[in-house]
Amino acid sequence: MVERRKPIRIKDAIELVMEWKCRGEIEWVSIDECDDRFLGEDICADHDVPPFNRSPYDGFAIRSKDTYLANQSNPIQFEIIDEIGAGQVSFKNIGPFQAIRIMTGAAIPTGADCVIMLELVKEIQINHKNYISIKRKLKPGENISFQGEDAKQGQTLIEKGMMINPGVKALLATFGYDKVPVIRKPVVGVIATGTELLKVNEPLVPGKIRNSNGYMVESQILRSGAIYKRYENQVDEIESLLSVVKQALDECDLVITTGGVSVGDYDLLPHIYEKLGAKVLFNKIAMRPGSVTTVANCKGKLLYGLSGNPSACYVGFELYVRPIIRYWLYSQKPYLRKAKARLQTDFPKANPFNRFVRSKLTYEGDRCLVEPVGLDKSNVVTSIAWADCLMVLPGSTRGYSKDDLVDILLIDDQIGSEEPWIEIERSTKL
Amino acid sequence: MVERRKPIRIKDAIELVMEWKCRGEIEWVSIDECDDRFLGEDICADHDVPPFNRSPYDGFAIRSKDTYLANQSNPIQFEIIDEIGAGQVSFKNIGPFQAIRIMTGAAIPTGADCVIMLELVKEIQINHKNYISIKRKLKPGENISFQGEDAKQGQTLIEKGMMINPGVKALLATFGYDKVPVIRKPVVGVIATGTELLKVNEPLVPGKIRNSNGYMVESQILRSGAIYKRYENQVDEIESLLSVVKQALDECDLVITTGGVSVGDYDLLPHIYEKLGAKVLFNKIAMRPGSVTTVANCKGKLLYGLSGNPSACYVGFELYVRPIIRYWLYSQKPYLRKAKARLQTDFPKANPFNRFVRSKLTYEGDRCLVEPVGLDKSNVVTSIAWADCLMVLPGSTRGYSKDDLVDILLIDDQIGSEEPWIEIERSTKL
C-alpha cells in the first residue's frame, strides 16, 4: 500500500525548520579575504571620521572675517605664510590677512576657519613675498570637512550580519581592521542519491543521467554564503547510504540529500530517517514544484531531503535551506527578498497548488514586470539558468491573466527579507 | 597658473573608454571552481535532455489503448511483467494488458506509451501472479517526459559571456563539463597614492588617514568579476610613482590609481601620464562626484586615475571601469542595470551637475522607490556601504521633488545593461 502523506502549508514548513535555526561563531580573517563574508561584530568608529578638520579642495586656508569686505571691485590680499601637503601638518598659526596653501585632504591649520578654492584666487608677488588676491566673501566653516561629520567616535556604523561589500570594506580599512571578525561559514554536506546518476565525467549509458542536482545545490550553497562538502553519489542501497549520511551528519553543520524522498520502492530516505532515529518535521508541502521536500532533525542537526527533480530541488533549497544558512550568518533578512510585479503572460488554467515559477524580472519605468522563463515542468533545467526570480502563483480556482499583480521572490539578490513569503489561508490547498 | 580643464559629457567619456575595450581569452577550470565565472564558450546540448523517454513519476508503464474502456465501474487488470528502477532498463516488451513497474526517472520500456501513477492503481494477486487494476482511461503520451523535450541535441542553451549561476552549473554537469571554459579574469593593478595614506594596520597620526580607497576598489574589482594586484601605497613623489605605474602596466591588464589626479601641486598623475607618453582620453567629466576621473591609454592599456575622494572613486569605477571588465568577460550587458524609481525625498536645491547619489531601492507593490542613504558629500564612506543603487539626478535649473521619476543604476545586480546611462543633451552642464 502506498503511503498517503499529508501536505502541510509552506508557512508551517518554514516555521518547523526555523525552530532549529542557530547562529554561527566568529572567526577572524585577513581583510583581503573578507569580501562577501558576513560581519561577526558591529563596526564601531574607534575615531572620528574625518579624524581632523580637513580641506575637501586644493586651496588656501584663511580667516573668514578677513574676507568681509571682499568683492569684485575690492580684492583683498593675503600673505602666503606656509604650505601643507596632504599628510602634512603646519605648525604656523594663521593671523589677520595671512593664508596657508592647503591640499585636498590636509588638516586645516590653527586660526583658519575656511578654505578658498585654488581656482578662485589670483597669486601675486609683492616685494619677493607671495600673496593671493580674493574677490569674494567667505562664511565661517566654508569648504571645511569637519572632524566627525562622517562618523563620530563610538558610533555603530554597520551591524553584524551585514554582508561585506566594497563600502563596508572601505570602512573596515578606515578603522584599521587588518583582521576582520566574520561568521564562520556553515558546512553543508551534499549527498546525491539515485542508481541512475553518473558522475560528470562519465559517458552516458542507457537509462542513466549525469548528476546535475548535486552541482546545482553546491552552487546555491555558495551563493547563500555557506560552503559545501561533497560526498560520493549514492546508489539506492540502504546500508551504504545510511553510513554516508551518518558520516555527513558527524562532519557537517547540516546535510542535504537529493532524490529518494518520495514514496516509491527505491525511495530510501524515509527508511534512513527511521534508522537514524531522526525526527521528520514534514515530508510533504502544499507547493509545486517541491512537494516532496522533506526535512528531518537528527540530534539537533537538520537533514534535508530535497527532490531529485532539478526544479523542485532548486525551489526547496531557496525556501527552506537558504534562510537557515543566512540566519546562521547573523543576517537580519534571511529570507528571499519579496516584491510584486505585473504578470506578462496568461496562465489561464486553474491550479489548486501554490506554484513557484522560474521567471525573469524586468523594469519598465518604475514598474516591475515578470514573465516565466522557458518551460515550467519540474524537470527542466535550462529555465533555472535564466531565472532571476521565482513568481508565486497561489493555488486558485481560476487562472492568472496578463497584468495581474503577483508576488515575486528575488533569487540573485543579496539583501533579503525579514519575513518569508507565506500563503494566505484561503489560497492553500492541502 | 591653475590648469583649466574642459569637462566632457559622461556619454563621451564612456565612448572614449570603450574604444579601448578588448576581450579576454579562454581558460579551463574545474567545474568545482566555475561559480560566478563568465562562460568562455556557448553551452550546446551534446545529447537530448532527457536522453530517453522517461517517467516523471513512480507508477506503471502500460499501453494507453488497453485502458480505452476503463472507468470507475469497469476496472481493467494488467499483469505486472517486470520492474525498472531508476538507472535500470527493461529488455521486456509490453504486450496487451501488461504493465511494467517504473520508478521516477527510469526509461519507458518498449511497447508502452503512457504511465499511470502509483497512487491511482490497486495492486492485486491472482493465481500467484501480480496484477494492477486501473479505473481510468489514459491518453497516449500521458505522464511521459519525452526525449529532447528540455533540450535537443545541438541546441545552444547558454551563450558565452553569461555568469555561471546554480542553473548554469547544473547544465554544465548535465553535459559532462568536468572542465569548464571560462574567460580568464583580467588583472587590475591598484595603486593608492597620497602622502597622507597609512596602511590599514598603522596607528593614526595627525594629518594622516588610513588607505580605504584601495580596499574599496579592490572589492569593486572582485564584484565586477576581475582580480586585483595590489601595489604599495605611494607617497607623492614622482620618480617612485612613475616606476610603480610602469611596473603595474607591465604586469596587469589595466591599472587604477587613486588620488593625485586633480590640479594641485601634489597631484602627480598628470605628470606621470606625460612622462609615460600616455594619451589622456579625458581628465574632467561633467558629473558629481567623480569630475576629476581621468583615463589615459598607455601602449593599448587603460590607466585609470580615480579620485582620492571615496565616493568619487566609487562612482568613477562603476561607470568607467566596470564595463571594461565586463566586456572583457564577454558580457553582453557590461553596463550597470538601469531602472526608474520614485524619489522619496525632496532635493529642492537646483544643481547644474549630473549627480550620482548613493541610494537604496525599495519595492512597494510593483513600484520601485528610491531614497538617498546618509549624507551625500563626496567624502562620506559610510553611505557607500548602505547603497544598493546610484540615483541619477541630471543637472537642472530646478531641484527635484518627492515622487519625481528618476533613473537608478543597480550596483549589486549581476545582470547589467546593454547600454550605459547617458545624459540627455539639455541636462548637461559642461
pLDDT at B281 over 90: yes
pLDDT at A375: 57
Nearest Cα of chain A lies from the Cα of B300 at a distance, in angstroms, of 28
SS3 A42: coil
Chain A residues closer than 8 Å to B418 by CB: none
Task: Output the CA–CA distances (angstroms, integers) from residue A80 to A122, B133, B219, in the order listed.
Answer: 12, 104, 41
Contacts of B150 in chain A (CB under 8 A): 375, 379-382
Q: Residue B176 and residue A210: Cβ atoms within 8 Å?
A: yes
Which residue of B89, B169, B412 is in closest CB contact with A206? B89
Is B195–A50 a contact, with Cβ atoms under 8 angstroms apart? no
Q: Which of A119, A235, A264 sits opposite B58 (nearest CB)?
A: A264
| Min distance A18 CA to chain B CA atoms (Å) | 24
pLDDT, tens digit, 9 for 90 and up, residues B383-414: 899 999 999 999 988 999 999 999 999 999 88
Do the Cβ atoms of A366 and B339 come within 8 Å? yes
Instruction: Say which residues have a Cβ less than 8 Å from residue A91's Cβ, sequence separation at least 6.
Output: none
Do residues A50 and A146 lie in contact, with contact meaning Cβ atoms separated by under 8 Å?
yes
**Angle B172-B174-B175 from CA coordinates, rounded to 5°:** 70
Q: For residues A223 and A153, give the distance between their C-alpha atoms in angstroms, rounded to a whole number.
A: 35
Q: Is B95 exposed, middle or buried (0-12, 13-18, 19+ CB in 10 A)?
A: exposed
Q: Do B107 and A207 touch (CB under 8 A)?
A: yes
Name the residue facing A200 among B85, B176, B211 (closest C-beta).
Answer: B176
Question: Minimal Cα distance from B217: which residue of A?
Answer: A166
Closest-CA distance of chain A to residue B380, Å: 6
Q: What is the pLDDT of residues B292-351, one digit of tens each?
A: 999 999 999 999 999 998 999 999 999 999 999 999 999 999 999 999 999 999 988 898
Q: Would you state the pLDDT for residue A389?
A: 96
- Domain A29-49+149-183 in this protein, CATH class: alpha beta
- Per-chain mean pLDDT for chain B: 93
Measure CB to CB from residue A365 to each of B201, B218, B405 and give the nearest one: B405
Report whether CATH 3.40.980.10 matches the domain B10-28+185-328: yes
* Domain B32-49+150-183, classified CATH 3.90.105.10, yes or no: yes
Residues B277-289, mean pLDDT to the nearest whole number: 96
- Name the CATH topology of A337-427: Beta-clip (2.40.340)
Across the interface, whether the CB atoms of B263 and A58 are under 8 A apart is answered yes
ipTM, two decimals, is 0.94
Query: In percent, how much of chain B has pLDDT > 90?
Result: 80
Task: Give the pLDDT of residue A430.
Answer: 53
- What is the least distance, in Å, from the CA of A239 to any CA of chain B? 18
- Average pLDDT on B118-134 reads 94
The reply to whether residue B382 touches residue A314, judged by beta carbons under 8 angstroms, is no
Do residue B412 and residue A165 have CB atoms under 8 angstroms apart?
yes
CATH code for residues A10-25+185-328 = 3.40.980.10
10 Å CB burial of residue A198 (0-12, 13-18, 19+) is middle
- Domain limits, chain A: 10-25+185-328, 29-49+149-183, 59-134, 337-427
pLDDT of residue B170: 95
CATH class, B59-134 region:
mainly beta
Query: What pLDDT sits at residue B428?
Result: 47
> What class, spelled out in words, does domain B337-410+418-427 have in CATH?
mainly beta
Q: State the nearest Cα–Cα gap between A231 and chain B, in angstroms.
A: 13
Rounded CA-CA distance B80/B97 in Å is 9
Using an 8 Å CB-CB cutoff, list chain B residues near A118: 2, 263-264
Instruction: Tell me the three state secondary structure of residue A106.
Output: coil
- Residue by residue, what is the 3-state secondary structure of chain B? CCCCCCCECHHHHHHHHHCCCCCCCEEEEEHHHCCCCEECCCEECCCCECCCCECCCCEEEECHHHHCCCECCECEEEEEEEEECCCCCCCCCCCCCEEEEECCCCECCCCCCEEEEHHHEEEEEECCEEEEEECCCCCCCCCCECCCCCECCCCEEECCCCECCHHHHHHHHHCCCCEEEEECCCEEEEEEECCCEECCCCCCCCCCEECCHHHHHHHHHHHHCCEEEECCCECCCHHHHHHHHHHHHHHCCEEEEECCCCCCCCCCHHHHHHHHCCEEEECCECCECCCCCEEEEECCEEEEEECCCHHHHHHHHHHHHHHHHHHHCCCCCCECEEEEEEECCCECCCECCCEEEEEEEEEECCEEEEEECCCCCCCCCHHHHHCCEEEEECCECCCECCCCEEEEEECCCCCCECCCCCCCHHHCCC
Encode pLDDT of B9-62 as tens digits.
999 999 999 999 999 999 999 999 999 999 999 998 889 988 999 998 889 999
- pLDDT for residue B1: 53
Phi, psi at residue B287, to the nearest 5°? -155, 160
The closest CB to that of A166, out of B106, B220, B415, belongs to: B220
Between CA A282 and CA A17 the distance in angstroms is: 9
Whether the pLDDT of residue B264 is over 90: the answer is: no
Nearest CA in chain B to A157: B382
Contacts of B380 in chain A (CB under 8 A): 150
Compute the average pLDDT of residues B152-158: 89
Q: Which residues of B touch A391 (CB under 8 A)?
A: none
Regions in chain A scoring below 70 on pLDDT:
1-2, 375-381, 425-430
